[in-house]
Structure 1
Amino acid sequence: MTSLLFSPVTIRGLDVRNRLWVAPMCQYSAVEGVPQEWHHTHLAQFASGGAGIVVAEATAVSPEGRISPEDTGIWTDEQRDAWAPIAAAIKARGAVAALQLAHAGRKASTWSPFSDHHGSVPVEQGGWPTVAPSAIAFEGYAEPAQLDEAGMDRVVADFEAATHRALDAGFELLEIHAAHGYLLHQFLSPLSNLRTDEYGGSLENRARLLLRVVDAVRAAAPDVPLFVRFSATDWAEGGWTVDETAVVAGWVAERGVDFFDISSGGNVAHQRIVPGPGYQVHLADHVRKTAGVPVSAVGLIDDARQAEAVLQRGEADAIMAAREWLRDPHFALRAAGELGADIDYWPKQYVRARPRR
């Protein structure tokens, strides 16, 4: 059997060497939004380990868009210049360098997981006021201000400016973060969006800000592969659903989005998730088949044969993994050996360790 996991794919003219990719993972280790040496080593090692695409963590398009004060950003030239050698290192090792553009909305200004504190960071301790579609707090967090028209215009402009900086830094692929309860997901979900204007109510209205962001990013990067990450469901009654995800995926595909990264949850504290191996794959499968768009699956996929089986069954077009890459930064090299896939991108410095058949 020919391995689909290790078959190449071309996305908007960009060649990707396989379909085992690194999902964005926040490191909470930046200083004033500037990535550090940690980020360089962390991300470059996955490229050495055979990843097809390496997506750098949720990177804020504005200071108020950070999840925590330690999040990376790309709203300044200093941040852009710090990202440049990281993108270059990923590409030099044969992987595609990608960046996830993000705004945390009402889930911004929170303590990092490394802190002894929880919830929102007070302004007097380095936090900042947050914004959202409606003035409804995420449970345990500070109440956000409702974005007005001017505020939404700034969000769109921030995504556009971040796109230019990301391209200048050398990133070859961009992902818009519309998942995990962050700003664009907050607009999509009726649990967090109670607006009565043209940005609330109907599905078309709740998707309006995302559509504007997609248009702005695509206009700024007309030739670059563009992904959107969705939470396909809120896992809560009355919330965002996988059927709505499929509809909106179709809309943004018509506006130039090339691929969809399907995750779930994160928008409300009362979500009910029962995680298990591949527990989100059925969501990716539904979006793929309903909207007719290419998708990646993610969520406790940590075994080569498990990942291969998802693709062989036609449930996804690629695999995004996270924790398994942390456990083994050479996950792809190991997986190729386990599947008997013949790849030619073992680093020459490591080839002596390549398993023999």
Structure 2
Amino acid sequence: MWSHDQPSPRSPIPSPSPLANPHRQRCRSVFKLLVQREISPKTKFVPRKRLGVNRCGADSSCGTSSQPVSELGHNLISWLSRGNAVNMFQMYTLPLLPKMHYTQPLGVHLIERLRYQTLNAVAARLSRAEPPLGREVVEYMLDHDFHVWSMRRSKANFFRLVNVVSSLVWVARLVEAMRSWTKPVCSTVFVAVFLFMVLFPELILPSLFLYAAAVGVWRFRKRPRHPPHMDARISHAETVFPDELDEEFDTFPTSRGFEVVRMRYDRVRSIAGRIQTVVGDMASQGERAQALLSWRDPRATFIFLVFYLVSAVGFYVVPVKLTVAVAGLYYLRPPRFRRRLPSRGLSFFRRLPSRADSLL
């Protein structure tokens, strides 16, 4: 923490008096700025800021930022500091919640009831403040409506998931590009690296860890310099349609007209139908995998058992390195040695029975 003799070099806020409790005075000043916001009772998007150990930098300060609190020009300036670097790094290994939460966990319904009671207590406390803070603001700050359907939030979560799996998609596209042999030199180098990793498998994990460390060091120059704030682009607040925004602001249960509710219900049905189709396809693939040993199709199960017995003998006799090398070269063979029809193994798997035909 900053000493009381001189002000912080990173913040224009003067240091508190030595006679007063600095932590309590700082909390009071921040709380005073929060309750003095002049916002309408129906305001939805209130600037929020979440602080944690992952916002802290490598120096003694964990972050100094200034962000608008209301439309009147007030700024909320905050900074955190740490005293010991070892304790700061140790916090990453500690549980997020108290021990009682893990030794005697609460049920989902009880957690919802406690969340609702906490919301009522905080709203009642802030409603008696001067000036009072509306209940709508408290509900938004505490994520009271996180379980309510929102088209905008669904789009945001979907593209967040797409961003997470984008690295895996990039690897799949890279392997497919190497298989296509559009760049023979790159494909040849890729095959050579693959054979080298097969001959020396003990270098696979060190190479992966070294590559991850190199990527982290390379991205150090472009590291975030400021704590993250609410992003309208990631939240899809800039491209949201008026009807979707009105649906998000709607009460629960709804207070809109019959035609509006009907249109929104049809839209949700169309989205849920697509999700239902994807879930059904995934269930069918899993049921086909279970049908390999269920003898529901005796001929398919017999073929599968014979194949597995031959594979067991082959993997016992043939060295693993040779098997992996032959399988990799067969998979990476040029397109002139491949056919466009599905493989025999894939055709065999697709012919396996599933319970989709038994559904009404």
Alignment TM-score, normalising by the size of structure 2 = 0.22
TM-score, normalization: structure 1?
Answer: 0.22
Structure in which a larger fraction of residues adopt helix: 2
Q: Please say which structure displays the higher CA radius of gyration.
A: 2
Q: Answer 1 or 2: which has greater strand percent.
A: 1
